[in-house]
Amino acid sequence: MSVYLLGITSAGGLPVFSRKKGNCESLSFSKLGSLNGVHMFGKPLNIELSNTVTDDYAVAWKEFNNSLVIIGIASGCSVDVLNRLLKLVYDAVVLIVGIEEAKSQRNIERLKRELRVCYPVLDRLLDSLDCGDSTNKHSSDIVGYVETILCPENYLIQIVLDSFTECVDSMFSCILVNGKIAVATESWWSLHPHEIRLLLLLAVTENKDISKDIPVFLPYKSPTVAFRFVACSLISDIKVCCLCGSTPSLLDVEQAATQCFKNSTDILKSASHCVPRNFPQSITLDCGVLGLLLINIRLKKYMMSKNPQQTTSRKTSTSSHRLDILRTFFYQAVMNTLILNTQTWQDNNLHQDEKTDKTALDKDNDGIETYWCSEYHKCHAVKVNHNILCVLYNSTTPTQAMRFFSKNILNMLICDKQVCW
Amino acid sequence: MIAGFSYDSKAKHDRNIKIGDWLKTINNMEVNVHNLDDILQKFINHNEVLLTLQRVAATEVTKEPPINTLNLESAFVQDLLNPKIDPDSPVVLQKLCGYPVGLIYINTDKLDENNKANEDLIYYFPKSVQKNLLCQSRGMFITLHHLLHDITATFSRVSSLMYKEKLVHVVYTKLQNHLLLFMLPDERASVKEVVLMNNQVLSYLDFTYQRIHDALTLKRHIEQIDSFLFRYFARVICNTDWATTEQFMEYQFDQITSNNASVCLFEDLMPVVPTLKLPDEAVTQVDEALSELEASDYREWNEDPLDCQRLFTILGSALFHSGYLLHSHLMDCDLVNIYNFCKFQGIIHLSRTEPVKSLVLWKEVFLSNSTETSNNSQSEERKYLLAIGNGKDLLVAIMEAGGATEPPEDNMGPDAFYVEEVQATLAHIQELGLNIVAERILTSNGGYAIANPMPQINKKKDWKGMGSLGFTKTNLPQNSSKECTSGTKKNEVISILKRRNSEQNVLNEEPYEAYSEGSESQCYSEALSEISDESSSRNPNLRYDSNDEDSDFDDYREGSQISGSSYDLSEVRQLLLSDLGEYQPVQLTSGRQNVLYHFVQFETAEGILVCPLECHLQSNTYDLILNNFRRCCQNIHEIFENTQRFKKLPAKDIAKSLMNKSLIAITEYGMLFECPFIEKDARKAKITYWVIGKLFYEPYPRELFVCYQDGIPQNLADLAFKIGLNCSL
């Protein structure tokens, strides 16, 4: 597996950032220049190169605001997924430096230095490509979507979070369990999925301090004015995050957090036991079910779970591969058939992911279900309103029965009021 | 007396000599019936002779024989034979360059700065370096191809780019140190389609000119390839089955931007030949006829043993009706190549739309399996394609010269004897009534019952009753533009007739006598068109005009080996047709109601495609479903390709492979869709339907795609298996 990610200024062709993943050589400066060159070459001819597919790789170019060209090269994944990633990468740049700086690039060296902050975020974003590599630690990352966790305690935590939000005088806050959102305020969910995703990554990747306070621009909500993103650890693996203006100070936020959550540590602790199952123990599943992926296509959030049946004596190595299968199934079979362009997220960004080429589905045909049968496993996805459930079954499950199993599981999950789906 | 002129003779054009003149003397030697031959013998080597003629006829008859003035060649045929507008003219070029289409062939060794400008360009189409987008931007693609190989160690397949706000795809094909680029806009071909289209064009070039490299470098081929590519792109741009030069010039691309993209293609782009399944008895008959042709056993036919060696061996043959394969004795790849060739030459479209009286095509071809050997040394064998058409039937044969036969010469022409043999075989098959059988099956969807999408309870469409036009309509004079409708009309006629009548057809050889008055006038109107109507294919003995070709045709029919065989043809014919008397399309699903909308089966091992043919339901909903079906099939097929690619991968490379491990063993892929019923009555009603693809390995690799209505409990395996049984040849 190998992935390259490059950011190059449109005007000068200077590299701003360059990331890679997997066992591959770094790109030489001349190759980097050529990659940008082929894109630039077309401009006087009215040509804008968008992507190229080779036998195993996908390569995509995307120019943002006539100022920054982002190039991605990845093995094993589709152009569509790569394109979505590039958009997210640009949003990450804007998140750190703001839209003005990203556009004008007055001082390239300063821009480069500022962007170092988001290198861990960028590296983590590369994990969301489905390269079909089981060594990936973050197989549950899905590009453009926000990961959540369905703890049975979510309902209780929500109450505490609301009081915390009042204390810090911010509308945007959430609780993270193991980097996944357990609960969040309504306003938090009104943020663009890309913004939420990037803030989450910032909270978990930046450094090992207990608390952090980072100035961020919100690429969609506020690309020119910076907010402060504050994240405090409550207990290990559980963080509270909020967006606020110049006040309150970090110290005040930390105090408010201790104040609000000191009586709920037991709840938080039991919530942290939900990992890696990610949904309540009370919901039992057939042992033929190897993995779950529950998606809300309106809010673009999802819950992914492997090996829900803890009793099965399967090796852990195969169970991490399960998430890969589910994710690939989602990218290849679900993302462009079950999720119509018009149904995604909020009105102002309706067409962000819209595919306009001939392979895109027409509006009239609405996908409801889809499935795969492989020699080793079976995947099935069903859509009910805004929710999609993808289930990974073992290969002995009868194909016809999958429909009924999946619908049942979906019902069980979304009817549970405790988990605040 | 002057009876006529040899084709293209000088005398014909000078118009001094007229038909009906009496020939009196040649070089002052008096000519009469007895000495004509002797005198002509003397003049064999003379270039100029003096003729004395006595004028009898008063009218000007040199022009064209009267029958030809009634020539109702369709615009399509005219364009195919001699286009009115020259495709090379600047107007056409101008128009063509307005579209992002093209094909260029580049020598990547000649990119040095020392080389002259454009020296690397070996071939390009459209023919203008300045206006050809690919020529202008080729540097980008060459660099990219090279660069990505450096970085990823894999070769580029296809690039997508925006050109003037339109998405355009460019496919790469690397041939040693050359690079071939093929470009089409996304409106006409999606990424997946353009790759398949590129493959089709390249295999055509391979088949016709031995190697793509030769085709695009040798001067003698250039003109042919230009016109081939022009036709190809014109057809793609106009988004029709076939576009004449005029149609292309009239075509407005801009309408399309508001008009949306063309429909998705799937079956048409796969390397398979659409096949019409005949009943077993019919297949046996065709099989026998083809085998007899291929055996080339002329002992019975020739009373004196021939002591010369044969000119050709027949390697294999295949029979098409209306552009659909009936039976084949060819290797899968050859069959696909021949079909491809016929399609690009317009022959398939011709036999689908208008029946021909006689078609003879002779072309040296290069079979894919022999290409390698002929690369190494100047191979002895040469292969020729002989295609013989009559009515809607087309019989193709691959002839081999060299090998077992006399050593081949360059530029071998068709030998009249073999042409006649193939024509005789075709005539024999038509005499058996197989074309009627085929036509009848064709009008019932190629033999499979298909459901019309209905919101709730599905009513099965009454196929026999559809479009039943009475005899009254047949009185209308027909022209070739009506061929399509007349095709179905004729079949109504046949199906209305009882068995007794179809038997009479054989016995009387004057079938129209048996019809009502109306059909007589129909007969008349047909006689006007030289490109005869379908009836001619059904009644091979019906003659409207007696020019030389036709009478030849009759002669050898009598003399051919096949007529000499012992059994009575009319009996066989009777048997075949009577079996078909109440022909019902097969319902593949097992429920009480038919829920099957469409299916496609690829038998890659045989190179054939089985699906309901020519079913055009008058339903927008059906079109919507079908379009989505094809699009989904492209996706499913792509997933299956991963599976097949992985199977072929040697075990040692598996670890190194960059393939997504989750995609390596998928054999079934299904999708459930919901779409509104867009017929006028019930707008709110919804239809839910499945699109399912299955990949089989046993007994041989097959891909099956079905589209059926959801809601009725049904075991797909049953359905698939039933088709599988039906299709085993």
Give the pLDDT confidence of B524-570 residue by residue, as tens digits: 333 333 333 333 333 333 333 333 333 333 333 333 444 444 456 67
Q: What is the mean pLDDT of chain B?
A: 71
Asked if A230 and A327 sit in the same domain, the reply is no
CB proximity under 8 Å: A 339-368 to B: 356-359, 361-362, 364-368
The verdict on a CB contact (< 8 Å) between A31 and B144 is: no
User: Over the stretch B271-311, which tens digit does the pLDDT of each residue have?
Assistant: 888 888 888 888 888 898 899 888 877 666 565 555 666 77
Domain boundaries, chain B: 10-63, 78-262, 281-326+345-447+458-586, 596-727
User: Over the stretch B232-258, which tens digit does the pLDDT of each residue have?
Assistant: 988 888 877 777 777 787 777 555 444
A105 φ/ψ sector (left φ>0, alpha ψ -120 to 50, else beta): left
Asked if A112 and A167 sit in the same domain, the reply is no
Interface check A27 vs B, CB under 8 A = yes
For A373, the closest chain B residue by CA position comes to B668
Q: Is the pLDDT of residue B672 over 80?
A: yes
> What pLDDT sits at residue B501?
36
Question: Is the residue at A256 inside a domain?
Answer: yes
Query: What's the pTM?
Result: 0.79
**Whether ipTM exceeds 0.85:** yes
How close, in Å, is residue B245 to chain A by CA atoms? 27
* Among B640, B430, B450, residue whose Cα is nearest residue B541: B430
Kind plus residue range of the DSSP H or E element containing A399? helix A399-415
> What pLDDT sits at residue B103?
92
For A54, the closest chain B residue by CA position comes to B156
- The predicted model gives B102-113 an average pLDDT of 84
The verdict on a CB contact (< 8 Å) between B665 and A56 is: no
What are the chain B neighbours of A56 within 8 Å (beta carbons)?
Answer: 152, 154, 657-659
The verdict on a CB contact (< 8 Å) between B660 and A361 is: no
> What pLDDT sits at residue B473?
33
Structural domain containing residue A321? 289-419
Q: How far apart are CA A304 and CA A389, in angstroms?
A: 10
Asked if A157 and A258 sit in the same domain, the reply is yes
Beta strands A301-306 and A146-147 are parallel
User: Over the stretch A331-365, which tens digit does the pLDDT of each residue have?
Assistant: 988 988 888 754 444 444 444 555 566 666 667 78
Helix axis angle, B416-431 to B280-295, nearest 10° = 160
User: Over the stretch B16-55, which tens digit does the pLDDT of each residue have?
Assistant: 665 556 666 776 677 776 776 776 666 666 666 666 666 5
> What pLDDT sits at residue B307?
62
Q: How far apart are CA B155 and CA A24, in angstroms?
A: 17
- Please tell me which residue, A148 or B2, carries the higher pLDDT value: A148
> What pLDDT sits at residue B59?
40
Q: Given pLDDT bands bounded at 50, 70 and 90, which one contains residue B583?
A: low
The verdict on a CB contact (< 8 Å) between A134 and B661 is: yes
Q: How far apart are CA B159 and CA B176, in angstroms?
A: 20
The verdict on a CB contact (< 8 Å) between A73 and B140 is: no
> What pLDDT sits at residue B61?
37
In one-letter notation, the amino acid at residue B370 is S
- The predicted model gives B427-439 an average pLDDT of 86
| CATH number of the domain encompassing residue A178 | 3.30.450.30
| CATH number of the domain encompassing residue A60 | 3.30.450.70
What are the chain A neighbours of B259 within 8 Å (beta carbons)?
Answer: none
Helix axis angle, B219-238 to B191-209, nearest 10° = 150
Asked if A331 and A404 sit in the same domain, the reply is yes
> What does chain B come to in residues?
729
Asked if A294 and A256 sit in the same domain, the reply is no
Least CB–CB distance from A38: residue in B143, B152, B627 = B143
How close, in Å, is residue A22 to chain B by CA atoms? 12
Q: DSSP character for B395?
A: E
A:B CB pairs within 8 Å? 191
Question: Is the residue at A145 inside a domain?
Answer: no
> What pLDDT sits at residue B352?
84
Q: Is the pLDDT of residue B685 over 70?
A: yes
Q: What is the mean pLDDT of chain A?
A: 85
Asked if A53 and A122 sit in the same domain, the reply is yes
* Among B369, B188, B345, B343, residue whose Cα is nearest residue B270: B343
Beta strands B51-54 and B22-26 are antiparallel
Residue after which a domain boundary falls, among A209, A237, A272: A272
Record the tokens describing residue A15, joined without a space. Answer: 């590299």
Asked if A101 and A200 sit in the same domain, the reply is no
Q: How far apart are CA A90 and CA B118, in angstroms?
A: 39
- Residue indicated by tokens 């992935």: A3
Q: How far apart are CA B476 and CA B304, in angstroms?
A: 53
Least CB–CB distance from A53: residue in B157, B163, B667 = B157
Residue after which a domain boundary falls, among A272, A302, A327: A272
For B130, the closest chain A residue by CA position comes to A45
Asked if A376 and A351 sit in the same domain, the reply is yes
User: Over the stretch B462-500, which tens digit does the pLDDT of each residue have?
Assistant: 333 333 333 333 333 333 333 333 333 333 333 333 333
> What pLDDT sits at residue B557?
37
For residues A32 and A8, is the Cβ–Cβ distance under 8 A? Answer: yes
For B141, the closest chain A residue by CA position comes to A38
The verdict on a CB contact (< 8 Å) between A27 and B191 is: no
For residues A23 and B656, is the Cβ–Cβ distance under 8 A? Answer: no
Q: Given pLDDT bands bounded at 50, 70 and 90, which one contains residue B14?
A: low
- The predicted model gives B81-94 an average pLDDT of 73
Share of chain B above pLDDT 70, in %: 60
Q: Which of the residue ranges A64-73, B15-24, B98-107, B389-398 would you say has the lowest mean pLDDT?
A: B15-24
How close, in Å, is residue B656 to chain A by CA atoms? 9
Residue from A57, A358, A362, A395 to probe the interface with B (highest B Cβ count within 10 Å):
A358
> What pLDDT sits at residue B676?
83
Question: Is the residue at A394 inside a domain?
Answer: yes
| CATH number of the domain encompassing residue A303 | 3.30.450
Burial zone of A208 (CB within 10 Å; 0-12 exposed, 13-18 middle, 19+ buried): exposed
What separation in angstroms does the CA of A246 have from each of A252, B147, B251?
12, 49, 63
Task: Based on DSSP, count helices (H) and strands (E) in chain A, helices before strands.
Answer: 11, 16
Record the tokens describing residue A217, joined without a space. Answer: 């621009």
Least CB–CB distance from B631: residue in A77, A328, A359 = A359
- Residue indicated by tokens 């861990």: A120
- Please tell me which residue, A38 or A362, carries the higher pLDDT value: A38
What separation in angstroms does the CA of A322 have from each of A75, A77, A289, A377?
19, 17, 11, 9
Question: In what side-by-side order are the strands of the sheet with A222-235?
Answer: A180-184, A172-177, A238-244, A222-235, A211-218
Question: Is the residue at A278 inside a domain?
Answer: no
User: Over the stretch A52-97, which tens digit does the pLDDT of each residue have?
Assistant: 999 889 999 999 998 999 999 998 888 889 998 999 999 999 999 9
- Please tell me which residue, B510 or A47, carries the higher pLDDT value: A47
SS3 A356: coil
What are the chain B neighbours of A42 within 8 Å (beta carbons)?
Answer: 137, 140, 161
Torsional sign, CA B63, B64, B69, B71:
negative
User: Over the stretch B315-362, which tens digit does the pLDDT of each residue have?
Assistant: 889 999 988 998 898 888 889 999 999 988 888 888 888 888 888 888
Burial zone of B38 (CB within 10 Å; 0-12 exposed, 13-18 middle, 19+ buried): exposed
* Among B200, B250, B661, B218, residue whose Cα is nearest residue A325: B661
User: Can you list the positions of beta strands (E) in B635-721?
Assistant: 666-676, 686-696, 702-709
Asked if A268 and A293 sit in the same domain, the reply is no
User: Over the stretch B620-646, which tens digit does the pLDDT of each residue have?
Assistant: 888 888 888 988 998 899 899 888 888
Asked if A245 and A364 sit in the same domain, the reply is no
Q: Which of the residue ranges A163-172, A347-356, B456-465 would you say has the lowest mean pLDDT?
A: B456-465
What separation in angstroms does the CA of B49 have from each of A290, B24, B30, B202?
96, 13, 13, 52
Q: How far is CA B86 from the centre of its chain?
A: 24
Q: DSSP character for B586?
A: B
Q: Is the pLDDT of residue A174 over 90?
A: yes
Least CB–CB distance from A364: residue in B144, B152, B676 = B676
User: Over the stretch A200-232, which tens digit does the pLDDT of each residue have?
Assistant: 998 887 666 778 888 999 998 888 999 999 999
Q: Which residues contact A195 (CB under 8 A, 6 or more apart)?
A: A91, A95, A218, A219, A220, A221
Asked if A178 and A209 sit in the same domain, the reply is yes
**How many structural domains is chain A composed of?**
3
Q: Given pLDDT bands bounded at 50, 70 and 90, which one contains residue B647?
A: confident
Q: Given pLDDT bands bounded at 50, 70 and 90, which one contains residue A161?
A: very high
> What pLDDT sits at residue B198?
93
> What pLDDT sits at residue B615?
67
Question: Is the residue at A62 inside a domain?
Answer: yes
Asked if A261 and A293 sit in the same domain, the reply is no
Q: Is the pLDDT of residue A366 over 90?
A: no
